[in-house]
Structure 1
């Protein structure tokens, strides 16, 4: 039975408001969350051990990162992948992605259990069909899907055998069988969800330990949960209309972090805190992302 869940211990992180907050991930080894302000060209780092947020300026738009090892991260930027050294923030070009296409930029991404990085691009002005979704693993880049307007919703089932992705502009979430060893599709994608409230768009998503899919619905202020069969189960309401992406954090992955954006809003108020980054406790366990395989 579906229900509205009240976020327990809801908190707003002491971090700058984001024009377009996106791409949250978490490193349980250091108890650190990372996310981006894409438009602001910033990488934000929140160290929970001392409740401190660091802001790293970037020379380009970037939207996601994955852990390589203790020293390095793989950063998804508007023109491709960069290796980032954690200690000093140094950026080293690794692989170009649509670097010769001035119309597109990076957007959603997530790491499959095999260490594969699924990467979504989109038009800078959301031009229809300008984006794609790629698979990167061990130095090899493969374009999986073309004609995507706003790539989002990339996440993977706990058994690593199903991938999800969304086109926010179309209001559709797709699912596809994948090889658990490589993260590559083994069949054709099919619709998973396509019925959302008017004005709502499926944005970032994560799968929890039981296989439920949690999707930030842009324009609604909600993160909604669905069964692996697409049945709506429950939702969390947040004080931000433009929620963008969830991630699991905390020692047991029993806390959810949600980014949001104030881009396109004339004014934000105490009632609508779009642009803020939120955390709240969960009555279930999530999952952490694996390291990416270079």
Structure 2
């Protein structure tokens, strides 16, 4: 098995780094420091990390077109002008609920956006997972404590998600034309007896699911039948979410966090909150564009 080489991509320290998404048109990785309301941006080829202050908690980004992005925030979906950074509310999500914020979210191959929410204090069952497509919003799952691992097979027939608090990574059939779930959810991976928690995930062209293990100091890869294929050690305790990056989508970027650690714990985890690159042959793919209308 080829060894994975892990390096620091950005040494900008996020309290809660999340939501990485790569734009192949600009060779830029975007990600968030959720609790500090910041959108981070850096070219894969190098240079400084740009920090965009959003003024509210935000957690996920999708490409609409060359000039616009869709950002999931604590009050809903905002259209962001790439040139100016200006944000305009498009669709409110739990905007009247100050308890919750957005969390893990990802675009289905058809252009639908699955958007997860959760309580800012992680109280039990306060979150949900929504489906947004061409201006329509529906709630798919409720009573979620920490929404995570939203990702899809390349052909759009399978969706994955978890409530991190349960330790169960779920799988459900999807209508590939709409991104709506069909039938009942089934357990894909039971992680309850393993170290750490299931956090963000992404699925490659081979159907392999790559999962960041919060508290487990690892990224794990699972086959389409749920078999653990490999475990890549990470230099931080709280890896949070992976994304495919590079001109061929053949590398992984992984965010991390120091949230919840005291000063002593942070000293023992000095790179916590940085963002990493994993060099490993991976058959990745680019995120689909989101359809807002």
Shorter-chain TM-score above 0.5: yes
| Deviations, residues 104-145 of structure 1 (Å, cap 9, x unaligned) | 110000001000000000111111111100000100001000
Q: 1:141 to 1:282 in 2, by over 3 A?
A: same
Per-residue deviation, 1:264: 1.1
Q: Which has the higher helix share?
A: 2
Unmatched runs of 5 consecutive residues or more in structure 1: none
Q: 1:13 to 1:233 in 2, by over 3 A?
A: same
CA distance in 1, matches of 2:12, 2:25: 24
Task: Tell me whether 1:211 sits opposite 2:168 in the alignment.
Answer: no
* Mapped contact 2:191–2:198 kept (Cα < 8 A): no
Per-residue deviation, 1:273: 1.6
Task: Tell me whether 1:277 sits opposite 2:275 in the alignment.
Answer: yes
CA distance in 1, matches of 2:232, 2:192: 15
CA distance in 1, matches of 2:193, 2:19: 24
Task: Tell me whether 1:254 sits opposite 2:250 in the alignment.
Answer: yes
Give the TM-score normalised by structure 1. Answer: 0.95
Structure 1 segments of 4+ aligned residues over 3 angstroms from their partners: 196-199, 269-272
CA distance in 2, matches of 1:203, 1:168: 6
Per-residue deviation, 1:14: 3.4
* Mapped contact 2:10–2:276 kept (Cα < 8 A): no
For 1:144, which of 140, 147, 156 is the aligned residue? 140
CA distance in 1, matches of 2:52, 2:193: 36
| Residue-pair matches, total | 290
CA distance in 1, matches of 2:44, 2:136: 35
* Mapped contact 1:243–1:261 kept (Cα < 8 A): yes
Equivalent positions of 1:110-125 (< 5 A) are: 110-125=106-121
Determine helix, strand or coil for the equivalent of 2:165: coil
Unmatched runs of 5 consecutive residues or more in structure 2: none
Structure 1 partner of 2:260: 264
